Amino acid sequence: MEKTLVIVKPGAIQRGLIGEVIHRFERKGLQLCGMKMIQLTDEILIEHYAHLAQRSFFKRIKDSMMITPVIVCCWKGLDAVHIVHEMAGKTNGREAAQGTIRGDFSVSVQENIIHTSDTLENAKVELARFFSNDEIFDFEQSGLNFLYANNEI
């Protein structure tokens, strides 16, 4: 089973959407293995968004991500990285399909509710960035046989 990172961004916190975001992943059948509220720092954002460091909007992203604390979550499931990323929808909320988190709750490319890992490799790096080993829990989720066929798990 894969593990992946979700960050519930400050805009979602301010709008009271934490429960809605978590609820959608739970309803899908993903297992929550770690969750905490943290205040992001300039240092961690420079590392996390290093691929955007040379872009003109980089400072705006960093400033936006530090307005309030964020909720970081570790979700687990078969193909979890792909599932979570698809459930988030396109980065630009105006272009995201209805039924996705961004499509239902966002009208912005920046204030787009959540960050999700886009590859398994990035998920591993990002989870290590935000969680220590003792903050991610592995336990048997009851009812797996109602989520997956016996040859899938």
Active-site residue list: 115
If we measure between CA atoms, which residue out of 67, 20, 21, 38 comes closest to residue 130?
Answer: 38
If we measure between CA atoms, which residue out of 141, 149, 150, 103 comes closest to residue 26?
Answer: 141
Contact status, residue 3 vs residue 74, Cβ threshold 8 Å: yes
Residue type, 29: G
Contact status, residue 45 vs residue 63, Cβ threshold 8 Å: no
> Secondary structure of the chain: what % helix, strand, coil (to 5)?
45, 20, 40
Contact status, residue 63 vs residue 43, Cβ threshold 8 Å: no
